[in-house]
A and B are shown apart, each in its own frame.
Chain A
Amino acid sequence: MEAAYKGLLTIFLGVGGCLLYFYLSNQFLDKVLYPAKGVNAGRNINRANMIRPWLFVLPAMIALGLYLAYPVVATFWYSLTDRNQGDAFVGLANYQQMINEPKFWEAMRNNMLWLVIVPAASTAFGLMAAQLTDRIGWGSFAKSLIFMPMAISFVGASVIFKLIYDTRPVDQAQIGVMNAVWLQFEGGIGSWLILRLLPALLMLCGAAITAYTAYGFLLAIREKGGAFVRGIAIGILALITLAFLSLALGAFTSVHRYGEAQTWLTLPGWNSFLLMVVLIWIQTGFAMVILSAALRGIPEETIEASIVDGANPFQVFFKIKMPQISGTIVVVWTTITLVVLKVFDIVFAMTNGQWETQVLANYMYDKLFRANDWGVGSASAMIIMLLVSPILIWNVYNARKEMS
C-alpha cells in the first residue's frame, strides 16, 4: 500500500513537475530574461523564440542522453575493462574470452536461426492471415483474435506453451497437447502420411514459394536494377529455400520414437524451434495488422486490370499485390528482427538456455547477473548492438531522406 501512495505521489510530482517546469521556464523566458517590451522588444522576442525550442526538448534530451546514449558508450567502455582489476583497460581481452566460450557460439548459432526463422515465419503467416481475412465479412473479428497474443507477455506466453509441451510418464494421461497428439502415432501408414509425407510436402511448398519469390527478384534486377538490396534479398531467400529442402529431406530420414512421451524442451535441435513457435505466435498478429493495412492501400484498379487480363487469384497475389507491398514487408521483417535480437523472457522462462537453447540476450544476462562478469557481459551486449546497427543506420537514413 505504501508503494501505491508513493506511486501516486510520483505521478503527481512527475507530471506536475514537468508541467510546472515547462510553464515556469517559458514564463521566465518571456517575462524576466527577454521581456517583449521596452526598447529591445523586437530583438527580445526573436531571442526568446530561439531559446524556447530548447526548453521544450531539454527534459527529453536529458533523459534520452542519460538512459540510452550514455549507456551505449559506457557499455562499450566496460567491455574493454576488467572490473576485478579496478576497471583497468584490458583491450579486447573480454572479447577474446567470450569467443573462446562454446556457450557463446551456441548462443550465436541459435540467434542466427531465430533471426531467419521467426521474422520469416511471422511475416509469412501474417501475410497469409491478412490476405485471407481481407475480403470476408467477419475478417476484422478473426484478425483481432489472431492479433490478441500481442497483448500477452512473453512470460505468460511461455507458461501457455509450457503447458502444450508438458510431459507425463507414459502410464499417466498426457496433459500436454503435443504429447497427446504424438502418442496417437504408432508408426503405421497414417503416421507415414502425416509425419513424413505431409511435412515434406509443406517444406517443398515453402521452398517453391521462396524460390519463386527469389526468381521474381532476379527478374526485377534485370528490369529495374537495384542489384545490391535485391541481391541480399535473393541471398536470404536462397538460404531459406535450402533450409526448406534439407528439412523436406529430413522429414523422410529422421528417426521417430513412436509411443514414447517426449520431453520436448530437452530435445536438442527441436527445442529451439519450439521456443521460436512462441514468438511466432505472438508476432504473427503484428505482421498481419501492418500487412493488412498495406494490402488495403493497394489501388483497386491494378487488381481489376489484372483480373480483366485473365490473372488467376495466385497470380494476382504474387505478381500484383506482393510487389506493391514489398516495402511494408521489409519494415515488418526488420521490426520483428529487432524483437528477436532482444528476445530474453521466453528463453529465460522456458529453458533458461539449457539443452542448447541459449541466445545472446540470455547469455548476456547470465554473464552480468549470475557470473557477475561485467566485462564479458558488456562485450556480448556490444555484439547485440552490432547486430542491430545495420537496421539503425537504415532507419536513420530513411528518416533523413524523408525529411529533406
Chain B
Amino acid sequence: MDNIAGSKSSLSWAVHFSVVALVLLWLFPTVGLLVSSFRTADQISGSGWWQSLFPTQQNVTLRSADPDDEGVQLVVAGVYTVEGNLFGSAGSSTITVWGTSSRAIDAYKVGETAELKDGETITVQANGDYRWTSPVELTGRGQRVFATATTPPEFTLGNYENVLFSADSTDSMAKAFFNTLTVTIPATIIPIVIAAFAAYALAWMDFPGRAILIAIVVGLLVVPLQLALIPLLRLHLGIGIGKGYLGVWLAHTGFGLPLAIYLLRNYMVGLPRDIIENARVDGATDFQIFTKIILPLSFPALASFAIFQFLWTWNDLLVAKVFLIDATGETTVMTNQIVELLGTRGGNWEILATAAFVSIAVPLLVFFAMQKYLVRGLLAGSVK
C-alpha cells in the first residue's frame, strides 16, 4: 500500500513537513507557558519567552566598584587602579562592544582601552573584567560602562518554590492542590463501583424494562449539568449537606454515572458468553460471577472510565464552584485558584504560568502514562 500511495517522494516529504508544522503549532502554546514558568518576573516582562531559549543580546548599564570603598583602590607602579568584574563575578554573559557614554555605547571593542577625562583609562574584557586606572587618586562613584552583552539562556526554579512552598496563602497552590486531590479521588472511585454493578445487570441479566433503562442512560449521557446546579444546590442545602466535599463528591458521582454505565456496559456485553454461562452451570451466583469473572475481565474499560472521570474532576471548575467552594475559600480547588489569580495578578505571568503548570502537570502525567486506555475509552464511548 505504502509503495503505491507513497510513490511520489515529494508528496511524502510534504506530508512529513506538514505534520511537523502541525505538531509544532499544537505544542507551541503549552511550551510557552512551561518556559515562562521557569523565568523570573523581570525576564518574562523583558522579552518574549521564545527569545529565552537562545542567547540574548541586551544593552546593559554596568558600574565598576566605588573607588571610595575600603580596599578597592590599589596603587600599582604609581598608578591608582581599580580592578574587578562588571557583572560582580565572571559569569556566563559575554560583552561584545562597550562604551563609556550613553550616546556611544558601541565605541570600543573588548580589550580596548578607553581614554576618560583627567588621564583616566578603563579597559574592559569580554567576560566583564575591567581595569580602571588614574594618575591621581580616584574618588566618587564607580565608572559607568554601557555594554552590549550576550546572555545565555537562564532559568530558575524559584517560581515553583514560591507557588508550592511559600507561606503566603494568596499565591499558594499547595492547599488548592491537596483540595483538588481530595475532591478527585473519591469522585473517581465511587461512581466506578456503582456503575459496574448496574452495567453488569444491564449487560447480562434479563429483566423487563432493561431496554428502557439503557435508553434512559444514553439520554442522560448528554443532559447538560448546567440544569442540575440550582435544584441540587437547593437539595444539598435543604438536607443539610450544604457546600462541601460531600456535596461535590455526590455531584461528581451523579454526573459521571451515565458515561460510566454506558462504557462499562458496552464493554461487558462484548465479553464471551461461554465463560459466564459455564460459571452459571457450575452454580456460581450472579454476585460471584460479577466479582470473580466480570470485574477482572473489565479492567480495560474500568481504567478508561477512571481516566476520564479523573481528568474531568481534576479539571472541573463549575461543579467545584457551585457545590464546594464556600465564602471562606478554605476549600478552593486549583482551577478556581487560577481563575482568581487571573483576576488579582493578571500581569504577574511568573506566578500565573507556574500555578497553571502545577495544575496541568498531574493530568499530563496521567495522560502520557495511560494514553492507551484513554483512546480506547474514547473509541468505545463515541463510536457506535
Contact = CB atoms under 8 A, between A and B. Distances in A.
Interface of A: 1, 3-4, 6-7, 10-11, 14-15, 18-19, 22-23, 26, 30, 50, 52-54, 56-57, 59-61, 63-64, 66-72, 74-75, 78, 128-129, 132-133, 135-136, 139, 142, 144-164, 166, 168, 172-177, 180, 281, 284-286, 289-290, 293-294, 300, 303-304, 307, 313, 316, 328, 331-332, 335, 338, 341-342, 344-345, 348-349, 361, 364-365, 368-369, 374, 377-378, 381-382, 384-385, 388, 391-392, 395-396, 398-400, 402-403
A6 B178 CA distance: 12
Interface in B21-57: 22-23, 26-30, 32-33, 36, 44-50
B339 interface: yes
For the complex of A and B, list the 5 residue pairs with the smallest distance between their C-beta atoms, beginning with the closest. Answer: A67-B254, A153-B315, A60-B198, A56-B201, A74-B231
Contacts of B198: 56-57, 59-61
A152 B360 contact: yes
13 contacts: A3-B182, A10-B190, A15-B193, A59-B194, A63-B254, A67-B232, A68-B258, A75-B227, A148-B26, A149-B26, A151-B360, A294-B383, A403-B211
A4 B180 CA distance: 10
Interface string B213-248: 111111111111111111110110000000001100
The prevalent SS among residues of B at the interface is helix
A56 B197 contact: yes
A52 B202 CA distance: 12
Nearest to B207: A53
Contacts of B379: 289-290, 293
Given A160-B30, A289-B378, A388-B222, A344 B186 contact: no
* Residue in A26, A60, A128 with the greatest tally of chain B CB atoms within 10 Å: A60
Contacts of B22: 128-129, 132, 142, 146
The prevalent SS among residues of A at the interface is helix
Contacts of B286: 26, 52, 56
Nearest to B36: A163
Interface residues of B, number: 118
B19 A400 contact: no
A403 to B, nearest CB: 6
A53 B287 CA distance: 11
B226 A144 contact: no
Contact of B185 (A7, A67, A74, A349): A7
A285 B214 CA distance: 29
Contacts of B26: 145-146, 148-149, 281, 284-285
Given A149-B30, A313-B5, A385-B227, A133 B189 contact: no
Given A67-B255, A68-B228, A74-B230, 8 more contacts: A14-B190, A53-B207, A69-B220, A71-B231, A159-B338, A159-B352, A168-B45, A396-B215
A144 B245 CA distance: 34
Contacts of B353: 159, 163
Contact of B366 (A132, A139, A151, A381): A151
A348 to B, nearest CB: 7
Nearest to B337: A155
Given A56-B197, A163-B36, A135 B224 contact: no
A401 to B, nearest CB: 10
B4 interface: yes
B190 A290 contact: no
B8 to A, nearest CB: 8
Nearest to A166: B349
Nearest to B233: A368
A381 B227 contact: yes
Given A173-B47, A402-B384, A71 B228 contact: yes
